Amino acid sequence: MGKLIFIVDDEQAISKLLSFWVKDKWKYDIEVFFNGEDMLRRLQAKPDLILLDIMLPGLDGIETLKRVKQFDEDLPVIMLSAQGSIEVAVDALKFGAFDYFAKPIDMQRLEPAIKNAIKAHELSKEIVNLRENLKRDYSFDNIISADGKMQDVFKLVSKVLNNDITVLIYGESGTGKELIARAIHYNGNRKDKPIVVVNCASIPRELLESELFGHVKGSFTDAKVDRPGRFEIASGGTLFLDEIGNLPLPLQAKILTMLERREVTRVGSNKPISIDIRLICATNMPLHQMIEEGKFRQDLLYRINTVEIDLPPLRERFGDIPLLSIHFFQVYSKKYKKPLRGFTKEAMKRLEEAAWPGNVRELQHVIERAVIMTESEWINPEDLQLRMLNKTSDELDLDNYELDKVEKTIILKVMKMYQGNISKAATELGLTRTSLYRRMEKYGL
* Domains in the chain with CATH codes: 4-134 (3.40.50.2300), 138-312 (3.40.50.300), 314-344+360-386 (1.10.8.60), 391-445 (1.10.10.60)
The pLDDT assigned to 89 comes to 83
Q: Which among 213, 211, 193 has a CA at the least distance from the CA of 202?
A: 211
Give the SS3 label for residue 205.
helix
The pLDDT assigned to 141 comes to 58
Q: Are 386 and 366 in contact, with CB atoms under 8 Å apart? A: yes
The pLDDT assigned to 410 comes to 79
The pLDDT assigned to 18 comes to 94
The pLDDT assigned to 135 comes to 56
Instruction: Return the DSSP state at 311.
Output: P
Q: Which residues pair with 78 in a beta bridge?
A: 51, 99
The pLDDT assigned to 230 comes to 95
Within 8 A by CB and 6+ apart from 253, the residues are: 297, 300
Q: What is the CA radius of gyration of the chain?
A: 29
Q: Where are the beta strands (DSSP E) in 9-131?
A: 29-33, 49-53, 77-81, 99-102
Total Cβ atoms within 10 A of residue 295: 15
The pLDDT assigned to 139 comes to 56
Q: State pTM to two decimals.
A: 0.62
Q: Which residues pair with 6 in a beta bridge?
A: 31, 50
Per-residue pLDDT of the chain (445 residues; tens, 9 = 90+): 579 999 999 999 999 999 999 999 898 999 999 999 999 999 999 999 999 999 999 999 999 999 999 999 999 999 998 876 788 888 899 999 999 999 889 999 999 999 999 998 988 887 677 666 655 555 555 677 778 888 889 889 989 998 899 999 999 999 999 999 998 998 888 988 999 999 999 998 889 999 999 999 998 888 889 999 999 999 999 999 999 999 999 999 999 999 999 999 999 999 999 999 999 999 999 999 999 999 999 999 999 999 999 999 998 888 899 999 998 999 999 999 999 999 999 999 999 989 898 999 999 999 999 999 898 999 999 899 774 444 433 344 444 335 566 677 778 878 887 778 887 887 777 677 777 777 787 777 7
Return the amino acid letter for 3: K
The pLDDT assigned to 133 comes to 60
Total Cβ atoms within 10 A of residue 95: 16
Q: Which among 290, 349, 299, 292 has a CA at the least distance from the CA of 325?
A: 349
The pLDDT assigned to 389 comes to 46
